[in-house]
Amino acid sequence: MRITLSNSHLKAQIVGLGAELVALQDEAGHDLLWDGEPTFWTGRSPLLFPIVGRLRDDRTLIEGRPYSMKQHGFARASTFDIVDAGTESCRLRLSASDETREQYPFDFRLDVTYRVDGARLVFTASVFNLENRAIPVSFGFHPALRWPLPYGGKREAHEIRFEKAEAASLHTLAEGLVGEASRPSPLQGDRLPLHDGLFQDGALVWSELKSRTVRYGVPGRRSLSVSFPDMPHLGIWTKPGAGYVCIEPWQGYADPVGFAGEFKDKPGIVMIPAGENRDFSTEIIVDPPNSSNKRGPSQQGDPAC
């Protein structure tokens, strides 16, 4: 089943498998989300739970016992129940099962809400701890936005403008794990000019990040912003030559090379106390028609800032 949300600014479509956003269009019907063409990648906007990235050897220790889990966790391959679906919002739910407990031995409920609000698409994931003890969790969003966007300008003219200058170095990756070495920030102040060479060795991963909003597009043309006020980490990724770039707000990231500790001690994990829940959210905001992004996000009165 496909759920359609719409207003006069946006149209979004969500499916039950993975509670995944599979289409996003502006008021003129321009496609803003990757279409899942399998030559490059069948994903469109998977949800990453209860891990972000890879575990060492796809295995982890939980309370001294080994468990296996594939990259980015099991939510993206799970079928969610539709709790409610209106014209402008919907809520889908994944509950713990025998299958999930084989990988992650906790009782939880994951509710995912999508809402169109003017020119904003708001994603909120709520993780409920149904245990009588704290549970360890990571969560990530993974929207694949069209590159180039349908607003003119060459592919190589696109850039991502950060809310703040980010001088911190980035992690290198080693077979999907966080390597011991670091690499200099590829930003020019607050700007990341996009080109395929950035991604020859995989995703760009920020574990230290001051910005909570980035703006994506061609300077002087209509653009998109991605806002993630409560997500402290960020990944940016594509396959070189593909027609998308993923801007991925995260809580957590892949295992460091050599990490052999308990899952709860994995970098980026948060603990949800017994009987409580934690929300993770992000927004995609579409600039009004005829707007430009010549200045940074915070200078233009961006609704996400």
pLDDT reading at 302 higher than 90: no
Predicted confidence at residue 127, as pLDDT, reads 98
User: What global pTM score does this model have?
Assistant: 0.94
Predicted confidence at residue 1, as pLDDT, reads 81
Grade residue 292 by pLDDT with cuts at 50, 70 and 90: low
According to CATH, the topology of domain 2-299 is Beta-galactosidase; Chain A, domain 5 (2.70.98)
> Which tens digits make up the pLDDT trace of 130-170?
999 999 999 999 999 999 999 999 999 999 999 999 999 99
Predicted confidence at residue 289, as pLDDT, reads 84
Grade residue 293 by pLDDT with cuts at 50, 70 and 90: low
* Average pLDDT of the segment spanning 227-252: 97
Nearest residue to 163 (alpha-carbon basis) of 247, 103, 78, 80: 247
pLDDT, averaged across the chain: 94
Token pair 């946006």 in the structure block, residue: 10
Nearest residue to 70 (alpha-carbon basis) of 62, 79, 59: 59
Lowest mean pLDDT, pick from 113-117, 190-194, 201-205 = 201-205
Q: How far is CA 292 from CA 83, 192, 206, 300, in A?
A: 39, 17, 27, 9
pLDDT reading at 269 higher than 70: yes
> Which tens digits make up the pLDDT trace of 39-97?
999 999 999 999 999 999 999 999 999 999 999 999 999 999 999 999 999 999 999 99
Predicted confidence at residue 257, as pLDDT, reads 95
Question: Are the C-beta atoms of residues 72 and 46 closer than 8 Å to each other?
Answer: yes
User: Which H helix or E strand runs over 9?
Assistant: none
Dist. CA 52–CA 32, nearest whole Å: 24
From the centroid of its chain, how far is CA 143? 6
Predicted confidence at residue 298, as pLDDT, reads 40
pLDDT reading at 294 higher than 60: no
Q: Where are the domains of the chain?
A: 2-299
pLDDT reading at 300 higher than 60: no
Burial class, 10, CB count within 10 angstroms (exposed 0-12 / middle 13-18 / buried 19+) = buried
Predicted confidence at residue 304, as pLDDT, reads 30
